[in-house]
Amino acid sequence: MERLTGIGVSPGVVLGRAVVLTQRTEVMRFPIPPERVEQEVAALLRSQAASRQQLQDIKARVEHGPGSELAALFDAQLLMLDDPMLVGRAESIVRAERVNAAWAVHRAYEELYHVFRSMEDPYLRERETDVADVAGRLRLNLRHGAKGPKELLSEVDGPSVLIADELTASVAAQLDWSRVQAFATDAGSRTYHTAILARSLKVPAIVGLHDASLRIAAGTPVVLDGTTGELTVAPTPAQIDEAHRRATPPRRRRAATTAAGPVSTTDGMRIRLEANIELLEDLPFLNEHGAEGVGLYRSEFMLSGRPIESVTEDDQYALYRSLIEQVAPRPVTIRTFDVDERHFAGPGRGPERRRTRPGLRGLRLGLANPAVLRTQLRALVRASAHGPLRIMFPFVTAVEEVRDARKMLAEVVSGFSGIDPTQLKVGAMIEVPSAALAADLLAPEVDFFTIGTNDLIQFCLAVDRTDDRVSDLYEPLHPAVLRLIRIVRRAATRHHIPVSLCGEMASDPALVGLLVGLGLTEFSMTPGAIPIIRHVVEELSATEARRLASHALRLATAAEIEQYLFDALAASPFQRSPFRE
């Protein structure tokens, strides 16, 4: 028996088996049942085969291009891919620890990283970047057809207690909280965002346990007391009996509606919920979760590690047409490639550019490579004949970029007969401060805005959330972030164009009330988050949400805003729990 003490942020007592989730590395770690081990190993080997074919294709193209001398670089990556220290080691981790393959690849990569970094030869130390590229390619290919946290945790025998290094809103919104009845996180404080999330979900929770996700093995019985902040690991029979006596009755979530269509707050404000899509395999979830359309299709996911020039117009057209036809008559918003130079073949496009030109991506990169952007626009225009399509340009920073892109689009449309240019809606993704602050100037140039909160927060606060040294400064509730969102919404309203919000903030049950209070009525999120957000909206008063947002905008720090939201949910919540009968 071991007793860990953190900060209780949402009251209640739960007895269950631990499920461990690690996200800090941006790779999730899940325990898998014994009968799934062979399936996970098979997925790993399929990923290795796909990665090998991709690298061989890239090498062949480079050999016959202007940078033929760079082809040898891919020989090194092919050797690393087949080295037992990477995939072989990952397979042994899957079998020994019964964890998902993506995590096993990450673990194997970390071990190799430390080996390379300890070498004295500078050339050999630099080869670590090749290992990182190969491991990243393996994880990307594993993602195709992989199960997410909702599906994996649905296989866990309940009741269970989630032990996580941190719990992001995008994951929390997708979990089955009738099985996961409480959670504890390493990170956090009483006013930390996770505390607000716990209160919003009405789920017993502890934060600030520091290293519980490393110390507790998956499947270990635990007792969580969200009032005292105590987490008892491997409790004694007497402690189990006491926990049963004090246990909080499990909350069962209402069945999620599958009917598409707008949802309304209690006082009649209409809210539109759409889905973010990366793969065509995700489309069945649109009907399952009641999405009103695709608010964001990330077209760069079709690349699967291939150079962007290798994807032909016909390849793109076939995929876009399939997507639009399957979603019609609901609209589809397709974002043009949001990539950087690493996705191009040829000399000078390697990993060294990763640090030297971080701002050359998205629409900027498309305009700098007009043949690539024109090819994509031709495919999109052709596909628009098969259903409602909205084209969205990413990483917009200035009016000139939008004008240049729209001019190119007009030239493309003029080359087709039977295409009505007025039916093609064009939008800008607002994800850098310059675009947000100039939203009133951008609005007349486009038909809609989409606020991309993940990048907007990073650029606004000068924080790379993958950098452990500053990741704790990535704060969605920072006053500057909320003010930028309000600026964009007001500009869109003045110019009578719709504005939606995507990113993790859109799928956060703890923040949806604040966002509605800021005047937002359209959200796009991972499909699995839609049922919970729908329930939150249905029990939300827009009038109270506006009052909440008005007060929050007068506060000076993110901590003050978090404390205010936490107190509001604890004392007199403006919404009822979406998990009550």
Q: Are 2 and 200 in contact (CB under 8 A)?
A: no
Q: Which of 193, 343, 478, 535 is catalytic?
A: 193
**Phi–psi pair at 83, nearest 5 degrees:** -70, 130
* Cα torsion 243, 249, 253, 255: sign: positive
pLDDT at 302: 86
pLDDT category of residue 69 using cuts at 50, 70 and 90: low
- Express each pLDDT in 73-103 by its tens digit: 778 888 889 889 999 999 999 999 888 898 8
Q: Which of 231, 336, 272 is nearest to 16 (CA)?
A: 231
Q: Reply yes or no on whether 502 is catalytic.
A: yes
Q: CA 559 to CA 190: how far, in whole Å?
A: 10
* Coil, strand or helix at 571: helix
Residue 209: both structure tokens together: 């346990």
* Predicted local confidence at residue 275, as pLDDT: 95
Asked whether the predicted pLDDT for residue 175 surpasses 50, the reply is yes
- Model confidence pLDDT, tens digit, residues 329-382: 999 999 999 988 776 755 444 443 344 355 788 999 999 999 999 999 999 999
What pLDDT digit, counting tens, does each position of 203-258 carry? Answer: 999 999 999 998 998 889 999 999 999 999 999 999 999 999 998 776 544 444 44
- pTM equals 0.78
The answer, yes or no, to whether residue 535 has pLDDT greater than 60, is yes
Please confirm, yes or no, whether 343 is among the known catalytic residues.
no
Amino acid, res. 107: R
- Worst-scoring range by mean pLDDT, 109-118, 312-321, 337-346? 337-346
| Class of residue 420 by CB neighbours under 10 A (exposed 0-12, middle 13-18, buried 19+) | exposed
Q: Which of 106, 478, 502, 535 is catalytic?
A: 502
Residue 577 in this model has a pLDDT that exceeds 50: no
Alpha-carbon distance of 345 to 361, in angstroms, equals 15
pLDDT score for 123: 57
Burial status of residue 228 (CB atoms within 10 A of its CB: 0-12, 13-18, 19 or more):
middle
Looking at the DSSP bridge assignments, the partners of residue 391 are 334, 426
Domains observed in the chain: 2-28+153-246 (3.50.30.10), 34-143 (1.10.274.10), 263-571 (3.20.20.60)
Measured between alpha carbons, how far is 296 from 323 in angstroms, rounded to an integer? 12
pLDDT band of residue 124 (cuts 50, 70, 90) is low
What values do phi and psi take at 160, rounded to 5? -135, 160
The torsion angles phi and psi of 541, rounded to 5 degrees, stand at -95, 120
